[in-house]
Structure formats: structure tokens, C-alpha cells
């Protein structure tokens, strides 16, 4: 005789995950980015094409331990990353984004936010909440970007690639949002490798544009901006530190996803753009506003990472408009640019 009651006589409580389950899941959620990173590094996504692949075969091709690969994939599958069919492991729409050849690949972005330095920063969160500041500069003796470029060249490369990946998701919407038909000269400050600038120049065949960023970013610009690239005759690539000076006069200055550092730095960079321009020049801040984000878990998570690396933040609408006004710019409006970004439009006053 069995000691086990039939399941129909056991109360099953409420439907959906219980608070206990939710909290236990959450407290081990860091296993997921670790598993994503490992999957990328061993090359799982690139190894799976359109047909299902058995785990043993996959492990042999990747030269990894099959039993542990099963466990890794079991965790990732809980989040919709890869799926299992009778024939073996297959891609899902999410896991396809880990492929290096995906048109909207987020491979480098996942690597970037799971870099070893990022894991090392998370325990500083408690102290940041107590003190109100991220302690990166105290710990490493210099600001995040200077340290990144000097000490972590591989991570710098991943960062620059990750920013291009993110720009691929948003640049078309930005180009559709901005009416640059009357604008002659455009400067993308902190524009990374220039994917966004190249998209805007392609969408506006009359426009001339300058990419300004730190040496480590502009060293390998978007191929379209190269001296032999398709946009060479209408573009310039310049090294520049916008905290010292914005080294170009333009009708429009763009700061896209760069002013998410210390508020003081934001005001300095905006003032430097106003100084480089003339009365009537426009300064556009393009960012993902945290109080208007459809991806609130992502936005709040990256907000905390910014706190720990650049002592920065994801801005609220009020927060960013206050900063542009503090920099002496006239606020003209805030408009969405696609689903993920907002444009804070300002003018250099007369």
C-alpha cells in the first residue's frame, strides 16, 4: 500500500507562482546572465542553425561537457532562450539574437553587461545606497571610461560593438523622427563608432556630419564613415573629449545615450556644445527615459549599473529637462523617437 495520497486530495493553493516561488526565482536570477554569457562564450547559438541538434552532438562540436551543457540549456530554456524538441535543441526568437550573424544581434551587448568587472561592481550597491554615489572612481582612481579604455581593451571593443548593436535597433526610428531637411551640419557627440550618424546621413543626403568621441571609440569607425566609405565626402571623424571641449561648430549637436553619467558632467558637456555652436544651434539629448520605458526591468537594471560604473543614471523626464536648463539651454520639447527613445529638443539661446 502506498503512503502517498492521490494528488486530487492535496490543496494546490492559488494559481500562478507563489510569493515563495517568486522570491526564490528572483534571488537566483543571476544564474541566467551567467548562463547566457557562458552560452555565448562557448558558441552555442552560432553552432545551431535551422535544424534541431542533439545535445551530445552539440557538445562534441563545441568541445564541452555534454552533461553540464544539458544543465546550462535547461536553465536558459526557462527564459525562452533555446527550446528542446524531439530532434534536439532548436533556436527560439530570443536565442537567435545571440547569433553573431543575426541582423539585430545582441551578442556583444549581453557580453558587455555581464563582463567580469560588472559582476565585481554589484556588491557595491549597498554602499552606494548608503552614500548616494557609486564608488568606481574611489576604487579604481579614475573615471569609468578612462579606466575602461586604458585597462580593459577587450572590454572596450565589446562595449563599442554593443553600442552599435543597440543603435541598429533605434537609428531608423530616430532618422524617421528628426526632420533635418533645413539642417546643414550635424555633430554626433559621444557617437561611438558612428552607426547612428551614418544612418542619419543616409536618410538626409544633403547633410554633413561629424562624429566626435574618445580615441578608443573612433579608432575603428563605421565603414561608411571611413575615408573610402560611401559617406566619406559628407562626414568627418574626430577625436574629442566633450568634457573639455566640443571641437566642432554645427547647426545640431546630438548626445545620444551618453549623458547617463554624473549630473555635473552632463551639464559641462551640454555647456561645451552650446559654446561650440552659436545662438540658434540645436542640442538634442536622445535617451531612454526611465519613467516612460516599456522595458522597465531593463531600464531600472541598467540604471543601477550606471550608478555603479559612471555614478550615472537613467534619466526621468523631469530630471533631464532640469539638467538641460541648468546648462543654459532653452527647452523646446520632449518627443518619443520610436518605442525606446525620447528626444529632448533644446536650442542655444541668443
Ligand X SMILES: C[S@@+](CC[C@H](N)C(=O)[O-])C[C@H]1O[C@@H](n2cnc3c(N)ncnc32)[C@H](O)[C@@H]1O
Contact status: 118 vs ligand X (CB under 6 A): no
Asked if 167 is part of the footprint of ligand X (rule: CB under 6 A), the reply reads yes
Nearest to 47 by CA among 10, 73, 22, 80: 73
| CA 181 centroid distance within chain | 29
CB atoms within 10 A of CB 64: 16
Is 309 a binding residue for ligand X by CB under 6 A? The answer is: no
Work out how close the CB of 137 gets to ligand X at its nearest, in angstroms, rounded to a whole number.
Answer: 14
192 binds ligand X (CB under 6 A): yes
Task: Enumerate the β-bridge partners of residue 167.
Answer: none
Dihedral angle sign, alpha carbons of residues 75, 78, 82, 88:
positive
Interhelix angle 317-326/263-276, rounded to 10 degrees, is: 50
Q: Residue 190, interface with ligand X (CB under 6 A)?
A: yes
**Do 319 and 329 meet the contact criterion of CB atoms below 8 Å apart?**
no
Among 161, 196, 266, 288, binds ligand X (CB under 6 A): 196
Kindly tell me which residue out of 180, 217, 237, 320 binds ligand X, with binding defined by CB under 6 A: 217
CB of 49 to ligand X, least distance (A): 30
Looking at 64-72, 172-180, 190-198, 321-329, which segment touches ligand X (CB under 6 A)?
A: 190-198
User: Which residues lie closer than 8 Å to 264 by C-beta, 6 or more apart?
Assistant: none
As measured in angstroms, the least distance from the Cβ of 316 to ligand X is 18
Q: Could you give the C-alpha distances from 317 to 70, 174, 299, 330, 331, in angstroms and in order?
A: 45, 18, 14, 15, 12
Interacting span for ligand X (CB under 6 A) from 21-29, 85-93, 239-247, 294-302? 239-247
Residue 128 or 238 having the CB closest to ligand X? 238
Residue with cell 535597433: 169
Which of 32, 42, 243, 304 is in the footprint of ligand X by CB under 6 A? Answer: 243
The reply to whether 340 sits near ligand X by the rule CB under 6 A is no
Residues that bind ligand X (CB under 6 A): 145, 163, 166-167, 190-192, 196, 213-214, 217, 240-243, 256-258
Amino acid at each position: 500500500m502506498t503512503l502517498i495520497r492521490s494528488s486530487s486530495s492535496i490543496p494546490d493553493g492559488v494559481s500562478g507562482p507563489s510569493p515563495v516561488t517568486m522570491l526564490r526565482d528572483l534571488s537566483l536570477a543571476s544564474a541566467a546572465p551567467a548562463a547566457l554569457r557562458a552560452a555565448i562564450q562557448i558558441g552555442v547559438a552560432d553552432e545551431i542553425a535551422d535544424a534541431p541538434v542533439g545535445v551530445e552532438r552539440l557538445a562534441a562540436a563545441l568541445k564541452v561537457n555534454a552533461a553540464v551543457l544539458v544543465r546550462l540549456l535547461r536553465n536558459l530554456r526557462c527564459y525562452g532562450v533555446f527550446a528542446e524538441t524531439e530532434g534536439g535543441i532548436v533556436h527560439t526568437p530570443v536565442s537567435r539574437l545571440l547569433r553573431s550573424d543575426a541582423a539585430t544581434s545582441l551578442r556583444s551587448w549581453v557580453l558587455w553587461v555581464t563582463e567580469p568587472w560588472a559582476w565585481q561592481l554589484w556588491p557595491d550597491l549597498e554602499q552606494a545606497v548608503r552614500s548616494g554615489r557609486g564608488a568606481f572612481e574611489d576604487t579604481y582612481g579614475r573615471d569609468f571610461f578612462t579606466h575602461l579604455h586604458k585597462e580593459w581593451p577587450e572590454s572596450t571593443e565589446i562595449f563599442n560593438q554593443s553600442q552599435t548593436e543597440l543603435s541598429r535597433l533605434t537609428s531608423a526610428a530616430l532618422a524617421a523622427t528628426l526632420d533635418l531637411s533645413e539642417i546643414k551640419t550635424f555633430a554626433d557627440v559621444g557617437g561611438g563608432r558612428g552607426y547612428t550618424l551614418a544612418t542619419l546621413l543616409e536618410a538626409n543626403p544633403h547633410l554633413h556630419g561629424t562624429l566626435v568621441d574618445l580615441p578608443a571609440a573612433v579608432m575603428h569607425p563605421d565603414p561608411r564613415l571611413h575615408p573610402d566609405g560611401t559617406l566619406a565626402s559628407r562626414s568627418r571623424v574626430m577625436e574629442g573629449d566633450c568634457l573639455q571641449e566640443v571641437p566642432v561648430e554645427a547647426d545640431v549637436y546630438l548626445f545620444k545615450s551618453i549623458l547617463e553619467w554624473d549630473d555635473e558632467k552632463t551639464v559641462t558637456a551640454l555647456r561645451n556644445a552650446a559654446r561650440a555652436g552659436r545662438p540658434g544651434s540645436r542640442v538634442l539629448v536622445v535617451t531612454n527615459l526611465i519613467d516612460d520605458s516599456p522595458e522597465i526591468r531593463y531600464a531600472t537594471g541598467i540604471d543601477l549599473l550606471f550608478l555603479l560604473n559612471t555614478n550615472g543614471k537613467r534619466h526621468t523626464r523631469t530630471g533631464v529637462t532640469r539638467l538641460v536648463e541648468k546648462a543654459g539651454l532653452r527647452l523646446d520639447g520632449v518627443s518619443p523617437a520610436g518605442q525606446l527613445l525620447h528626444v529632448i529638443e533644446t536650442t542655444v539661446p541668443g
